[in-house]
Amino acid sequence: MTLFGLLSAARHRPTHNRVWSLATPMILSNISVPLVGLVDTAVIGHLDGAHYLGGAAVGATLMTFILWSAGFLRMGTTGFAAQACGAEDGNQLRLVLLQPLWLAVLLASLVWLLHEPLLAAGLYYLDSSAALLEQARIYVNVRLVSLPAALANFVLVGWFIGAQRARAPLYLLLVVNITNVVLDVLFVVVLEWGVAGAAWATVIGDYAGLLLGLWLLRPVLARFPGVMPWLNALRLRGAAPLIRVNRDILIRTLALELVFYLLVLQGARLGDSVVAANAVLLNFLLLTSHGLDGLAHAVEALGGHAMGQRNRLALKRVLVISTLWSLVVGVGFVLAFNLFGNQIVSLLTDLESIRQVAFAYLPWMAWMPLVAVWSYLLDGLFVGATRARAMRNAMLLAVVLVYLPAAWLLRDTGNHGIWLGFHLFMLARGVLLGGWFIWLWRRDRWMPA
């Protein structure tokens, strides 16, 4: 892309409007997810003992490992749904809804069958107190009840994004998260159910969102007429491309989850206060990722739509404009975290030992948005193009060549070393994906003829 081409793309007002018409509801709905995490942390962080917050943090990390491992159900669905919409193929649009829903049911059943050994393996290497580990077990066992609904919601959100119906995920996630917040306060603060109360609030919220999401399908399906291929979906007929993409995204997500698990593992070995403080700080990362993911979702939908139409100019405009706005939003997060970070930490916990540790390492998270913005944006670009193999390879290279060596070399530098290694990993993700895209684009290999 020449400088003139970049400036011309950046001035295309209709694309600005299309990006924000999708990004705004997605940012609002995405931000509601970490806000629920903030409420969880706040209500549990005020219980009398660091083991409650630490246990909930470890339990939530293990559940996140399971859920993010199934993140392919959303990301894999989005790209195919966007391309089906671009081609105005109602039958294919229905197929890419039913097949991942069926996969979600199968995956939830498998996890239920294996949850005891999975939980034992997840807690085995944590050198934490028995009280903390017991709270983690309580949290996970309750949260597993909502696994089918949570996975089905992934599919629905991804499908709605691909169909460029961003208001539907907004409504779905708002119902999930508002229900969660209200019941969090009721179960933990009023009824004093502790960590189990926070988990049950999430369970009920997930099922409430699923019911709404299924109801919101009707107007979208009416917009793209077609026949619902029930038997083909159950047989997974024609699902080879979806399965290949989902396989690669699964491998990519497992590698990412390994990084987060090692981050928790390293913090746990430094004491309950450190793992609890790191849990508080990770809420800043969740705010950043879910906010910037709103723009990444716009890239997924509009980029995938352009791929379906084979429109190279439209894709260039979407990418340039989304990059500019992602940088603006990233700088906004940096300013907010530097100005109000201490106040946010104080709201999340009144345990002074956790506060002091979190204050010491807050600068790492305050500047993280400018490091992480590139990987989020490029993930959206690759998801819309259904180039999951490239995402997988970039993630594996970032973990093997950057994060694991950094974690080993910095193992004696305490919590500062943990966060430095994580920064290097996030930077490597952006560099590798960006280099991959530029190489393909310059050789005219990004968009198939």
The pLDDT of residue 309: 74
d(CA 1, CA 380): 19
Q: Are 300 and 384 within 8 A, CB to CB? A: yes
* Cβ neighbours of 3 (radius 10 Å): 7
Output Rg (C-alpha) for the chain, integer angstroms. Answer: 21
The pLDDT of residue 419: 92
The pLDDT of residue 331: 94
Give the 3-state secondary structure of residue 46: coil
d(CA 381, CA 99): 23
The pLDDT of residue 236: 63
The pLDDT of residue 239: 60
Closest CA to 160 of 319, 297, 321, 15: 297
Q: Cα angle at 336 between 372 and 47, to 5 degrees?
A: 95
pLDDT for 210-241, tens place per residue?
Answer: 999 999 998 888 888 877 777 776 766 656 67
Q: Which residues of 58-87 are buried (b: 16+ CB within 10 A; e: fewer)?
A: bbbbbbbbbbbbbbbbbbbbbbbbbbbbbe
Closest CA to 123 of 275, 284, 254: 275
Q: Cα angle at 336 between 292 and 180, to 5 degrees?
A: 60
**Token pair listed for 238:** 């024609």
Residues in the chain predicted with pLDDT less than 50, given as ranges, are 3
Name the DSSP class of 185.
I
The pLDDT of residue 430: 93
φ/ψ bin of 216: left (φ > 0), alpha (ψ from -120 to 50), beta (otherwise): alpha
d(CA 108, CA 144): 9
pTM of the model: 0.70
The pLDDT of residue 6: 62
Q: Residue 165 — φ and ψ, nearest 5°? A: -115, 70
- The domain locations on the chain are 3-442
The pLDDT of residue 211: 95
**Token pair listed for 150:** 């949570």
Sole residue written with tokens 């979806």: 242
